Amino acid sequence: MTLAIEEIMLKHPPLIHMKSNGKDERAPTQEPNTQERSHLILILSQVRALASSKGLWDDEMQRDLPKKWEKHGDMIVFPQNSFTHNNWRYIGRELWRVVAESLNIARLGRKRFIGNDDERTPHVDLLYGANGWVEHVDDRGIRFVYDASKRVFNNKKVPEMQRISEWDCHGETVVDMYAGLGYYSLRFLICCGAKQVVSIDWSDDMCEALRRTAEANNVHDRMLVTPCLVADRVFLGLVPSCRAHWLTACKALKQEGGMLHIHEVLDVSSRQIPRKMGTAKPLPKLQSVEEEGSAKENKPSLAKSSSNPLGKANGTTEKEKAPFKRKLSRSQSIVEEMESRVFPAPKVLKDFEEGAWKSLAQPYKDFALDCATHCTRFLNNIHFSDTMYCVTIVNLTKYGSTSPKSDHVVLDLLCGLEDVPIERMVAKYLTLNHAQ
């Protein structure tokens, strides 16, 4: 029987739909390995017997059997161009039970397409099984729990996850904006020793996945899936741009400041006018921090609430914070006072300025200075204290071109009060984790 099935497969191989550019529509395109081939033979044998028993078998049906598939835990997801013959529909749900038993798997899904976004939003029809919740274990043994019918694990995040693992974040509170499945949140907690991570995502599905992942890794007591107002470090990992949330990130930092790590897909095709760093000029007219935030920001926002989730963890209360923070008014006098101030110009950390900064092309420098300038304004408008906040460019990491005219970069900014020595800030936030 097996030989007969193999002969049929050679005569009628599984159909592969081709795009107009001649490439296989499915990924990966390599031939199945021995185990996959044996599974494919078994599937063909079982479904052929089932269809024949109902008088529905047609040799053309084997041509759209899946040649490759993705496995997420105990769930297999087939390509969108599999099981498309009309006769499969007449067999009904029994077909998927037979296929699942042939593969010794609990659940089956089939793609419709994957959304063109950084989080790789899939559109998967659940064919067999109660739900799409699966578990993925990475190279550090970290368990990621997610619904494969709504999200899939994004391997493009791995290089940055590895970079984060080298940092020493003991005792720090970290805000991970756009947390997704918790790629970076779990590294901060498990590899970097962060005291607490606040994982922010606007999707209810992602928040549920984050909560389940925290439970699976036994870090639910240190991982808060909710916005907060106090952080030592804020990580903005959304690409192509998280510009709309720079203000939110600045609001998340503690009053004494901290680190911002900002991802951006940078357009390097156009040359901008170089910025001069010698003088500080007044910035454009401001409305107020609240007005600017409401006009430019999208959710999630770090909204004030009567119960601050980090208040207890940091040993402070709203009453204790009140003397240190002046609440902004919308009155014209306050706005005029804000407009009249001259903010400190962005700085470049000496070691970075004397090294890699010199070799950066102008578009990279312009982006870094523009980002630092905006964050300087945001911080000074948020806190509005007698001592100015200044922002120092610490590093700019390139992760390669996403297109001929764009480059994925990560900008590291050190934010703090002017009267705090930069050496103290560097010692606090830029220490490497030598235990890794």
- Tell me whether residue 295 is in a domain: no
Instruction: Give the confidence band of 20 by pLDDT, cuts at 50, 70, 90.
Output: very low
Regarding whether 414 and 351 lie in a shared domain, the answer is yes
User: What's the whole-number average pLDDT of the chain?
Assistant: 77
Here the tokens at position 20 are: 């107009």
Judge whether residue 295 has pLDDT over 60: no
pLDDT at site 227: 61
Judge whether residue 430 has pLDDT over 50: yes
Q: Which tens digits make up the pLDDT trace of 74-88?
A: 888 888 888 988 888
Q: In angstroms, rounded to a whole number, what is the distance separating the alpha carbons of residues 141 and 156?
A: 18
Here the tokens at position 287 are: 């409305």
Answer for the pair 128, 108: CB distance below 8 angstroms, yes or no.
yes
Instruction: Among 130, 161, 187, give the residue marking a domain's end.
Output: 130
At 115, the amino acid letter reads: G
When pLDDT is averaged across residues 244-272 and rounded to a whole number, the result is 85
Instruction: Among 65, 98, 130, give the residue marking a domain's end.
Output: 130
- Tell me whether residue 284 is in a domain: no
Judge whether residue 23 has pLDDT over 70: no
Sheet strands (E) in 138-201: 143-147, 173-177, 196-200
Residue 390, H or E segment:
strand 389-403
Cα 256 from chain centroid? 27
- Tell me whether residue 186 is in a domain: yes
Regarding whether 417 and 382 lie in a shared domain, the answer is yes
- Tell me whether residue 14 is in a domain: no
Regarding whether 170 and 67 lie in a shared domain, the answer is no
Q: Which tens digits make up the pLDDT trace of 308-339?
A: 544 444 555 555 555 555 555 555 666 666 66
**More confident site: 431 or 392:** 392
When pLDDT is averaged across residues 244-260 and rounded to a whole number, the result is 89
Q: In angstroms, rounded to a whole number, what is the distance separating the alpha carbons of residues 121 and 137?
A: 20
Here the tokens at position 389 are: 């906040």
When pLDDT is averaged across residues 32-37 and rounded to a whole number, the result is 64
Regarding whether 157 and 97 lie in a shared domain, the answer is no
When pLDDT is averaged across residues 330-355 and rounded to a whole number, the result is 79
pLDDT at site 334: 60
pLDDT at site 4: 42
Question: Which residue pairs from 51-54 have beta carbons closer than 8 angstroms and sit at least 24 positions apart in sequence?
Answer: 51/87, 51/91, 54/90, 54/91
When pLDDT is averaged across residues 153-173 and rounded to a whole number, the result is 92
Regarding whether 126 and 159 lie in a shared domain, the answer is no
Query: Under DSSP, is residue 55 helix (H, G, I), strand (E, B) or coil?
Result: coil
Decide: residue 259, CB within 10 A, 0-12 exposed, 13-18 middle, 19+ buried. buried
Domain that holds residue 121: 36-130
When pLDDT is averaged across residues 159-176 and rounded to a whole number, the result is 93
When pLDDT is averaged across residues 90-110 and rounded to a whole number, the result is 88
Structure-derived torsion over alpha carbons of residues 17, 152, 234, 355, reported in degrees to the nearest 10: -50
pLDDT at site 187: 95
Domain count, the chain: 2
- Tell me whether residue 245 is in a domain: yes
pLDDT at site 16: 33
- The enclosing domain of 394 has a CATH number of 3.40.50.150
Regarding whether 426 and 371 lie in a shared domain, the answer is yes
Regarding whether 210 and 78 lie in a shared domain, the answer is no
Q: Which tens digits make up the pLDDT trace of 391-400?
A: 999 999 999 8
Regarding whether 257 and 209 lie in a shared domain, the answer is yes
Contacts of 356 (CB under 8 A, 6+ apart): 395, 396
Instruction: Give the confidence band of 33 by pLDDT, cuts at 50, 70, 90.
Output: low
Instruction: Among 78, 96, 130, give the residue marking a domain's end.
Output: 130
Regarding whether 103 and 174 lie in a shared domain, the answer is no
- Tell me whether residue 256 is in a domain: yes
When pLDDT is averaged across residues 116-140 and rounded to a whole number, the result is 78
Contacts of 189 (CB under 8 A, 6+ apart): 197, 217, 219, 222, 223
Regarding whether 265 and 160 lie in a shared domain, the answer is yes
User: Please, which residues bridge with residue 224 across strands?
Assistant: 198
Regarding whether 235 and 178 lie in a shared domain, the answer is yes
Q: Cβ atoms within 10 A of the Cβ of 269, count?
A: 10
Q: Which tens digits make up the pLDDT trace of 205-229?
A: 888 999 999 999 999 999 988 665 6
- Tell me whether residue 15 is in a domain: no
Regarding whether 119 and 162 lie in a shared domain, the answer is no
pTM: 0.52
- The enclosing domain of 66 has a CATH number of 3.30.300.110
- Tell me whether residue 325 is in a domain: no
